[in-house]
Amino acid sequence: RFSGFEMRLNPLVEINLYRIINELVNNSVKHSQADTININLNRDKKELRIFFSDNGKGFSPDGKYDGIGLKSIKNRVNLFKGNFKVKNIEDERTLFKINFRNEHLT
């Protein structure tokens, strides 16, 4: 689902958002054993928000799964001064919340 995208974003922003979401989907497909993935992109006057969740097995919060994919996501989020939060509920699901201030997306 998406809302608030009346105009196209900067192409550099668009490709990085695509790659972030692509990595999240790949991680869910490869590792989580999920059968449902939810992706919401919302943009208002202040922020662009990505909410991503799956109903998979989650991963251990001890950080041992902080692999190349998650590091790549964090680097792309940092490129645009965004915030990245992960909530892992081991053996149940994973939730990602990513926020970008609009002024950093130009």
Query: If you average pLDDT over residues 80-93, what whole number do you get?
Result: 86
Upper half-sphere CA count for residue 103 (Cβ side, 13 Å): 1
| Single-letter amino acid code for the residue at 97 | K
The model's pLDDT over 16-68, given as tens digits with 9 standing for 90+, comes to 999 999 999 998 998 888 899 999 999 999 999 999 999 988 776 565 666 88
Q: What pLDDT score does 49 carry?
A: 98
More confident position, 23 or 93: 23
More confident position, 78 or 66: 78
Query: If you average pLDDT over residues 82-87, what whole number do you get?
Result: 92
Per residue, the 3-state secondary structure of the chain, as one string, reads CEECCCCCCCHHHHHHHHHHHHHHHHHHHHHHCCCCEEEEEEECCCEEEEEEEECCCCCCCCCCCCCHHHHHHHHHHHHCCCEEEEEEECCCEEEEEEEEEHHHCC
The mean of the pLDDT values for the chain is 90
More confident position, 25 or 92: 25
